[in-house]
Amino acid sequence: MIRFENVTKKYSGTKRPAINEMNLEVARGEFVFLVGASGSGKSTCLRLILKEEKPSKGSIFVLGNDLGSISSRKIPYFRRNLGVVFQDFRLLPNKTVFENVAFTLQVIGKSRGYVQEAVPDVLKMVGLENKADRLPHELSGGEQQRVAIARAVVNKPQILLADEPTGNLDPATSAGIMQILERINAGGTTVLMATHEAGIVDKMQRRVIELVDGIIVRDELEGGYGTTG
Ligand code: ADP
Ligand code: ADP
């Protein structure tokens, strides 16, 4: 589903590579935490998968595509298979909850009828069916992140990438977000989540890939945040 073969990413003007000779394989349906200190390369990893950055060396395969041979014209189509969630939500501030989620479907040309069915369905999945007409600033942080998740998955992507999705939320709110991500994963979506929140990783006991300076130092199938021995 996702494969890195000897991937190195060095940003221009920097001394050390952000990702260093990385080999990685994620199978369909997995839930994977990418952990490590700030600057260890987690976000770079996600951006490489999205083809927002390209590797300096090595090859990346996502959903059967060699990213090195996807033309820029085809990138938007490739990205339709990937949902993305960020720490800072990135909602459109002047659109309602419904419109924020619907927008994703409208830009890819889904019919009005499809949008009218799919949006309420996904809002229900994240527990926001009663807030469809609110604007983002009328919602709590946790609710805004639920909208962002709804938007990321409304098109039923095969992979969901989440970059510190609970980074701005308190622990109770974060637990609710993690339940939603688990539900999405249980539905068959592969989830790759970058985080440095030990409590969440310890509780979930899923696959943990730990990065130090762009190198995988640990890859455990049911791991916690820190090395368990
Ligand atoms: P993390 O997500 O784990 O905090 P990042 O992938 O953001 O790590 O960063 C990894 C390394 O790459 C850091 O040293 C960071 O400063 C550097 N880096 C990230 N983005 C850029 C960029 N656009 N240009 C130059 N260096 C960058
Ligand atoms: P928390 O502080 O627990 O993160 P808030 O106090 O921001 O949450 O919001 C609590 C509830 O009030 C939420 O359901 C949210 O939708 C609603 N709410 C918050 N601000 C507004 C507002 N300006 N207008 C309407 N509803 C709001």
Cβ–Cβ under 8 Å, residues 58 and 22: yes
Q: Note the Cα 118 to chain centre separation in Å.
A: 20
Query: Is 103 inside any structural domain?
Result: yes
Cβ–ligand 2 contact at 170 (below 6 Å): no
Query: Is 23 inside any structural domain?
Result: no
pLDDT band at 229 (very low <50, low <70, confident <90, very high): very low
Query: Is 20 inside any structural domain?
Result: no
- 59 alpha carbon – ligand 2 mean position (Å): 45
57-62/82-86 β-pairing: unpaired
Query: Is 177 inside any structural domain?
Result: no
- Structural domain for 98, as ranges: 90-156
pLDDT one-digit tens code per residue, 55-95:
999 999 999 999 999 999 999 999 999 999 999 999 999 99
Reported pTM? 0.89
Query: Is 94 inside any structural domain?
Result: yes
Cβ–ligand 2 contact at 140 (below 6 Å): yes
Return the residue matching tokens 């419109």.
99
pLDDT band at 155 (very low <50, low <70, confident <90, very high): very high
Task: Report in angstroms the alpha-carbon separations of 84 from 114, 121, 217, 219.
Answer: 21, 19, 25, 23
- 143 alpha carbon – ligand 2 mean position (Å): 9
Query: Is 24 inside any structural domain?
Result: no
Asked whether residue 175 carries a pLDDT value surpassing 80, the answer given is yes
Dihedral Cα 148, 151, 157, 158, nearest 10 deg: 20
pLDDT one-digit tens code per residue, 8-35:
999 999 999 999 999 999 999 999 999 9
Query: Is 149 inside any structural domain?
Result: yes
Ligand nearest to the CA of 127: 2
Cβ–ligand 2 contact at 169 (below 6 Å): no
Cβ–ligand 2 contact at 139 (below 6 Å): yes
Query: Is 138 inside any structural domain?
Result: yes
Q: How many domains does the chain divide into?
A: 1
Q: What's the whole-number mean pLDDT along residues 197-224?
A: 94
